[in-house]
Amino acid sequence: MNTATLTPNVPHPVASLDDWTERRRELLAREKELTRLGDQVARERRALPWVRIDKPYVFDTPEGPRSLSELFEGRRQLMVQHFMLGPGWEQGCKSCSFMADHLLGAEIHLQHRDVSVLLVSRAPLPEIERFRRRMGWPFKWASASGNDFNLDFHVSFPEGTRSGGEVYYNWHMTAFPKEEAPGISFFCKDDAGQVFHTYSTFGRGVEVMMGTYHLLDLAPRGRDEERDDYGMAWVRHHDRYEDAPAPVASACCASNA
């Protein structure tokens, strides 16, 4: 079998079309197994019992104080991205920003399946709005600076909340280097207007929002992170790549001048 070399000089087998097709069919069978398993896990996820939200969380939003129920904005389901932006931070987490970038095209489709989208951070609202404007995002983004929402969902670990240097995250005690952590949570509102927590995912579970990774997994070099210091070391805020385009907001302002 011949080989092809792609930097960093890793030889890769080259086959005839017939041989490649045979191997591809074998892989297709495995992919179908994975798809069916994913379907089954999704059914089990939806079958989880719900937890009623009894605490009266009030969030700061550009429109004023809003309850969790009000943030559904007329829909029956709510997706919350727990976005890592703590009080006093210069900017939001680049990995959380990578996740949020993928919502730009998805939000309209989620809304048409009765799902509202909300970002929540512990930073004060003015700090959130400053960063949101820089990123050019239209998403609804609320501050949990005045309530226990982030603490109750174990995505914020301010001073005094660690036990032996560890925090409770992803349903177990673990070392975590930051005061904020990523996550995704879903909520549902029933016919009586009661709000329930239905699902949360943390750690690598948040990759469900990272469509870029799913496409890279199909590429010849995959995620190509083996030589990086850590996973996602290559990711930048979308306006911090060397060839990043000028912010859309600036272009709009210029055109209206």
**In the numeric block, which tokens belong to residue 152?**
């109750």
- At 135, which helix (H) or strand (E)? helix 125-135
16-55 pLDDT tens trace: 999 999 999 999 999 999 999 999 999 999 999 999 999 9
172-204 pLDDT tens trace: 999 998 999 999 999 999 999 999 999 999 999
pLDDT beyond 80 at 245: no
The better pLDDT of the pair 79, 226 is held by 79
- % of the chain at pLDDT higher than 70: 92
Q: 71 Cβ partners below 8 Å, 6+ apart?
A: 59, 61, 78, 116, 118, 140, 142
The full DSSP string for 24-70 is HHHHHHHHHHHHHHHHHHHHHHHTSPPEE--S--EEEETTEEEETTG
Residue 230: per-residue pLDDT:
86
- Edge-to-edge strands of the sheet including 51-52? 51-52, 195-202, 183-189, 77-82, 115-121, 141-143, 58-61, 64-67
Residue 135: per-residue pLDDT:
97
Q: 88 Cβ partners below 8 Å, 6+ apart?
A: 123, 127
Cβ atoms within 10 Å of 22's Cβ, excluding its own: 11
88-136 pLDDT tens trace: 999 999 999 999 999 999 999 999 999 999 999 999 999 999 999 999 9
Residue 253 backbone phi and psi in degrees, to 5: -60, -40
**In the numeric block, which tokens belong to residue 89?**
């931070």
Half-sphere exposure of 202 (CA within 13 A, CB side): 16
Model pTM score: 0.89
Contact 228, 219 (CB under 8 A): no
